[in-house]
Structure 1
Amino acid sequence: MDAARPLPSYLISRFHGWRATTYQDNKAWYRRLAESGQHPRAMVISCCDSRVHVTSIFGADEGEFFIHRNIAGLVPPYTPDGERHGTSAAVEYAVTSLGVAHIVVLGHSSCGGVKGCHDMCTGHAPQLEEKTSFVGRWMDILRPGFDRVAHLGKDDILRALEHQAVLVSLENLMTFPFVADAVRDEKLTIHGLWNNTGEGELQQFDPARGGFVNV
């Protein structure tokens, strides 16, 4: 592979700093994790956005969360059609192999993927309509959510669509038979969250109250 290059020096320096401090202070814990395998209590599905730092938000330690990230933190519907499905594979592994007790879908403010879906669905991003656009075809998952909020004004629609990204993903999770079975048997709970990255706020979807409320 001729295209690969050595790691940038600033990352190498940070690694050595981590190994000399955090790792050395917790060497026994890291070795225990390596030897005993992972036993996370929860799976978190979040956006690739660099501003969303899941472990920092919840103060999580190594081994606590099984984390999967993709554009807009979406979960596709259950479609075992033989294609490559990274997110579906992660969900399957978390539920059937790791036996997580919770799946958390975490959306966030100013999501570029959600904005791309909005622009595509309103005809302002023709490049995302191309069959060759990986982002566009991925954001097709959110089209049902867009249809639900398309009537809203420009000041409200993006925030509403960010919430829809979480709701559509929760709905799609329940189309996976092994997820639905685990929820029914009370071995698994699913949760929908939305993080305002600029304000440090966290909201959760509460079906009893019909929307997202501050935690």
Structure 2
Amino acid sequence: MKLARPLPNYLVQRYHGWKATTYTENQVWYRRLASEGQRPRAMVISCCDSRVHVTSIFGADQGEFFIHRNVANLVPPYLPDGDHHGTSAAVEYAVTVLKVAHLIVLGHSQCGGVRGCLDMCKGHAPQLEAKESFVGRWMDILKPKYDHVAKIEDEDEQVRQLEKHAVVASLENLMTFPFIASAVEEGSLSLHGLWTDIGEGGLQCYEPGDERFVPV
């Protein structure tokens, strides 16, 4: 692959710093993880957004979380059509092979993907409506939830509420997977919906009984 280039120097320096400190100080633990394999207790589905740092939020170490990231932390409905489904594959592996006990969907404030979905629903994003837009077709998963926020006048609040509906949509879609529905019914798996405020460091949890998010 002739187009691949060497790493930028600042990343090389950071790697050597990590290897000389964090890795060296925890070498036994890393080798144990390598030899014994991973046994994460939870899977976290979060957004690709660089500001969402899952392991930092929960103070997690290597091996604790099985993490999958995509635009707007969305899960598509169960659709075994033979096409590529990266998110569905990650979910299947976590639940059927790793046997995680918890499956967490983590949404966040100022989500660009959700903002794009809102713009698309309002007819303000023709580039996302184009058939060849990967982002647009991915955000189609969330479009049905627009009706829940359409009448909110403040646009910032509209986005905030649609971000939370993205979490709920993913939880609903997770339950369309037969192996997830079965595990939840058996009590071996629990689903959790979270939303974090990047600027304030807040964390809210979805309460299905009240159909609202409450502070953790």
Other-structure match for 1:77 = 77
Other-structure match for 1:181 = 182
TM-score, normalization by structure 1 = 0.99
1:1-55 residue CA offsets vs partner (Å, 9 max, x unmatched): 1110000000000000000000000000000000000000000000000000000
Shift of 1:210: 2.5
AA of the residue aligned to 2:106: L
Other-structure match for 2:86 = 86
Q: In the alignment, is residue 193 of structure 1 matched against residue 194 of structure 2?
A: yes
User: Aligned residues, how many?
Assistant: 215
Shift of 1:150: 1.3
Shift of 1:147: 2.1
Other-structure match for 2:4 = 4
Other-structure match for 1:25 = 25
Q: In the alignment, is residue 111 of structure 1 matched against residue 111 of structure 2?
A: yes
Shift of 1:146: 1.2
Secondary structure in 1 matching 2:203: strand
AA of the residue aligned to 1:76: P
1:21-170 to structure 2, matched below 5 A, reads 21-155=21-155, 156-170=157-171
Distance 1:209 1:79 in 2: 29
Shift of 1:152: 1.5
- Structure 2: runs of 5 or more not aligned: none
Distance 1:146 1:60 in 2: 34
Other-structure match for 2:16 = 16
AA of the residue aligned to 2:79: T
Secondary structure in 1 matching 2:192: strand
Shift of 1:154: 2.9
AA of the residue aligned to 1:33: L
Distance 1:31 1:24 in 2: 11
AA of the residue aligned to 2:115: K
Secondary structure in 2 matching 1:208: coil
Shift of 1:149: 1.6
Distance 2:130 2:209 in 1: 40
Other-structure match for 2:213 = 212
Shift of 1:145: 1.2
Distance 2:172 2:74 in 1: 11
Shift of 1:174: 0.2
Shift of 1:151: 1.8
Secondary structure in 2 matching 1:56: helix
1:137-168 residue CA offsets vs partner (Å, 9 max, x unmatched): 00000011112221221342111100000000
AA of the residue aligned to 1:71: V
1:120-139 residue CA offsets vs partner (Å, 9 max, x unmatched): 11000000000000000000
AA of the residue aligned to 1:176: F
Secondary structure in 1 matching 2:209: helix
RMSD over aligned Cα, in angstroms?
0.7
Shift of 1:200: 0.4
> Which 4+ stretches in 1 moved above 3 angstroms?
none
